[in-house]
């Protein structure tokens, strides 16, 4: 049980990067961007391809971010310059990326142009590099003995992947928080909030939308690149339903922590992503669900997360009204007594 | 020297269809620096179309628009809005509701400089914003961190007005900006408009349905009808003008009674 939860927290923290990307488009720009399903794989494919070709995994990951950024910008161009509806722009880019991703992975083959997956066994990844260094620190052994002492029988093999994920997500969170408070960041937020208004303050909304989509998909591609490295494989189908996963994380997080400030909302999104993974893992562990049911579970989680807050609000309002009515009644009664 | 010049502006909507409508037919208008022109006219007279032409939201079919001697006819809205401040009729239209008061003013603050990766709100800027907000007398200077969506319509419109005038634009466009407010709020916004325009000597165009407001504010007045400017009242005459005068002028020009109750009573 503990190992299952640990594993999903480890993955959840990486998926949180993707969720922050989805937050940038869905919430900040108010642009339902479906490019994500494709750009996640683009990140994974680019990083895996370069790692297999012998590049440093850090460089491979940076190039993956760039690839995602470009993909997002193209979606933005389709929407702003081509006047294509946001949903359709994203879908078009998503299916175009499917073919592009096959081609990207195909660079690793000499006799073929497309390739559906790349295993990353026996190659250096960010995680394996850090794990090697981490192993010398002796932290794992210390934690293991401490946990054993507490009565856990099965414990995680290494905490290094969680460490890498935490460092990266903290950097990304601080970056997003900072960026959304800069002049450009404010203008992007205003674009999602009131386009007509920000245009009257001399902001080029087209360019801001393109930039926002680029940044969002850059983050999504980073998540894809890291997931490929931690799971030791890139696969052309690994992005299916990613947009719903991201959305689920955003909605769950917001429902729990609220959206008072930017810093709080980004934290909420990260926590939402982790909770989502844990819930999913526990649902699968319950026994009667199969891993093929994952997408169904995802859909159900999102539906619950969307409907539950509404029901809670309604319930609260009804209670508030009932209370006020009761107060008014007592007042009237008291008034009557005074008159008498 | 004219600050704003409209020359032979023409615009037709739905050209070549049964719905063809000449929105503006040959509009000529010159504004001197510091002019405050009020625009009246019934619905469909072309007032809003003209405002949208000046702001760049619409481009004319024919004619030329220049600001400060510079031809801006082909300049897109977001570039032109460096020189133009605008307040819309809808109090919700001029501000970003999910952002705070100080963030909204920061958006206005960086209107005429390229936006970069500097912080939108700094300590120094916050002081500037606070001083500016004090001019509104709405106690907003103590609510800098409040989301604008929580403000009332009147407060939002006052903030819109402040934001539109914040960087002292060459031209201020007011598009029936008090029409959606209740009378007491409308009076407040009218008063603020007077103050802000006078303080910064802003060249202003104001569309209104309220004739009394059109007479009270500004140094010039124009009346539009069916896409034409049918009456221009100059500085010397405007202070002596009354509502009956305006109605008589309209009848004399058009040979019919003014038929819009809204235009009469506003």
> Is B163 an 8 Å CB contact of chain A?
yes
Average pLDDT, chain A: 92
DSSP B7: E
What span, in angstroms and rounded, lies between the C-alpha atoms of A179 and A270? Answer: 17
pLDDT of residue A156: 84
B96–A183 CB contact, under 8 Å = no
Residues of chain A with pLDDT > 90, as a percent, come to: 68
Secondary structure tally for chain A: helices H, strands E: 13, 2
Tell me the pLDDT tens digit for each residue of B117-145.
999 999 999 999 999 999 899 999 999 99
Q: Using DSSP, state whether A170 is helix, strand or coil.
A: helix
Distances (CA, A) of A171 to A175, A219, B24: 6, 12, 55
Q: How far is B95 from chain A (nearest CA, A)?
A: 6
Nearest beta carbon to residue A189 from set B95, B99, B116: B99
**With contacts defined as CB-CB under 8 Å, which chain A residues touch B85?**
200
Please indicate if any CB of chain A lies within 8 Å of the CB of B117: yes
- Over residues A53-70, the pLDDT tens digits come to 999 999 999 999 999 999
Q: Using one digit for the tens of pLDDT, what is the confidence trace for A253-281?
A: 998 898 889 999 999 999 999 999 998 88
- Residue B71 sits in a domain of what CATH number? 3.40.50.300
Residue B109 lies in a domain: no
Domain containing residue B25: 4-95+152-265
Provide the pLDDT for residue B266: 41
ipTM of this complex: 0.90
Domain count within chain B: 1
Chains A and B form CB pairs within 8 A to the count of 84
Contact call for B120 and A202, based on CB within 8 A = no
Q: Do A194 and B55 touch (CB under 8 A)?
A: no
Element (H or E) spanning B64, and its range? strand B62-67
Q: Is residue B116 part of a domain?
A: no
What is the layout of strands, in order, in the sheet containing B4-13? Answer: B21-31, B4-13, B62-67, B70-71
Interchain pair B55, A200: CB under 8 A:
yes
pLDDT per residue over B176-186, tens digit each?
Answer: 999 999 898 89
- Tell me what the mean pLDDT of segment B5-29 comes to: 91
CA distance B192 to B154: 11
Bridge partner residues of B220 (DSSP): B37
Tell me whether residues A200 and B81 touch, CB distance under 8 A. Answer: yes
B147, part of any domain? no
Nearest CB among A181, A193, A201 relative to B119 is that of A181
Q: Looking up tokens 């005429």, which residue turns up? A: B112
Domain positions in chain A: 2-289, 296-340
Per-residue CA distances from A143 to A149, A151, B5, B63, B125 (Å): 10, 13, 76, 77, 49
Does A181 contact B120 at a Cβ distance shorter than 8 Å? yes
| CA nearest neighbour of B34 among B7, B1, B71, B10 | B1
Indicate the pTM of the whole model: 0.90
pLDDT, mean of residues A193-220: 96
Q: What is the CATH number of domain A2-289?
A: 1.10.3470
A181 to chain B nearest CA, in Å?
6
> How far does B256 lie from chain A, in Å, by closest CA?
38
Identity of the residue in A182, A193, A202 whose CB atom sits nearest the CB atom of B118: A182
Q: What is the pLDDT of residues B151-176, one digit of tens each?
A: 999 999 999 999 999 999 999 999 99
Say which range, A69-78, A93-102, B222-231, has the weakest mean pLDDT: B222-231
Selected residue of A175, A181, A197, A215 to mutate for chain B interface (largest B Cβ count, 10 A): A197
């Amino acid at each position: 049980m503990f190992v299952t939860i640990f594993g999903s927290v480890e993955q959840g923290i990486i998926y949180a990067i993707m969720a922050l990307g989805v937050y940038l488009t869905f919430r900040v720009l108010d642009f339902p961007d479906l490019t994500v399903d494709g750009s996640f794989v683009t990140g994974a494919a680019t990083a895996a391809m370069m790692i297999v070709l012998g590049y440093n995994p850090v460089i491979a990951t940076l190039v993956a971010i760039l690839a995602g950024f470009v993909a997002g910008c193209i979606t933005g161009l389709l929407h702003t310059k081509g006047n294509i509806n946001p949903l359709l722009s994203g879908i078009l880019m998503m299916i175009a990326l499917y073919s592009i991703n096959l081609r990207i992975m195909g660079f690793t083959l000499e006799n073929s142009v497309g390739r559906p997956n790349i295993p990353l066994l026996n190659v250096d990844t960010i995680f394996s590099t850090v794990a090697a260094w981490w192993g010398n620190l002796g932290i794992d052994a210390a934690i293991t003995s401490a946990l054993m002492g507490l009565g856990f029988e099965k414990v995680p093999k290494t905490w290094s992947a969680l460490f890498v994920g935490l460092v990266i997500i903290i950097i990304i969170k601080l970056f997003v928080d900072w960026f959304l408070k800069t002049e450009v960041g404010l203008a992007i937020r205003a674009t999602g909030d009131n386009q007509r208004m920000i245009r009257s303050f001399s902001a080029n909304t087209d360019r801001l939308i393109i930039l926002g989509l680029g940044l969002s998909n850059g983050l999504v591609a980073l998540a894809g690149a890291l997931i490929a490295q931690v799971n030791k494989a890139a696969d052309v189908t690994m992005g299916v339903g990613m947009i719903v996963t991201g959305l689920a994380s955003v909605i769950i997080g917001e429902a729990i922590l609220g959206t008072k400030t930017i810093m709080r909302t980004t934290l909420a999104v990260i926590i939402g992503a982790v909770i989502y993974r844990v819930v999913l893992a526990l649902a699968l562990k319950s026994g009667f669900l199969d891993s093929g049911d994952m997408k169904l579970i995802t859909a159900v989680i999102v539906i619950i997360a969307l409907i539950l807050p509404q029901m809670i609000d309604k319930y609260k309002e009804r209670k508030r009204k009932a209370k006020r009515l009761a107060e008014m009644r007592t007042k009237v009664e008291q008034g009557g007594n005074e008159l008498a | 020297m004219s600050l704003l010049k409209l020359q032979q502006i023409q615009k037709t909507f739905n050209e070549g269809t049964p719905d063809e409508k000449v929105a503006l037919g040959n509009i000529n208008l010159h504004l001197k620096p510091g002019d405050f022109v009020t625009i009246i006219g019934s619905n469909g007279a072309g007032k809003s179309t003209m405002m949208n032409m000046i702001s760049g939201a619409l481009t004319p079919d024919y004619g030329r628009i220049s600001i400060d001697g510079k031809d801006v006819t082909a300049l897109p809205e977001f570039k032109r809005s460096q020189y133009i401040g605008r307040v819309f009729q809808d109090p919700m239209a001029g501000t970003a509701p999910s952002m705070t008061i100080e963030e909204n003013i920061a958006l206005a603050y960086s209107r005429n400089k390229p936006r970069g990766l500097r912080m939108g709100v700094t300590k120094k800027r916050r002081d500037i914003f606070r001083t500016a907000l004090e001019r509104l007398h709405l106690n907003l200077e103590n609510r800098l961190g409040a989301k604008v969506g929580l403000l009332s319509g009147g407060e939002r419109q006052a903030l819109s007005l402040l934001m539109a005038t914040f960087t002292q634009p060459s031209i201020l466009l007011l598009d029936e900006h008090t029409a959606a407010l209740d009378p007491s709020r409308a009076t407040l916004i009218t008063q603020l408009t007077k103050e802000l325009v006078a303080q910064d000597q802003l060249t202003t165009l104001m569309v209104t349905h309220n004739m009394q407001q059109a007479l009270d504010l500004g140094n010039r007045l124009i009346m539009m009808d069916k896409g034409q400017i049918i009456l221009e009242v100059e500085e010397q005459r405007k202070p002596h003008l009354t509502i009956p005068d305006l109605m008589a002028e309209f009848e004399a020009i058009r040979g019919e009674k003014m038929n819009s109750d809204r235009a009469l009573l506003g």
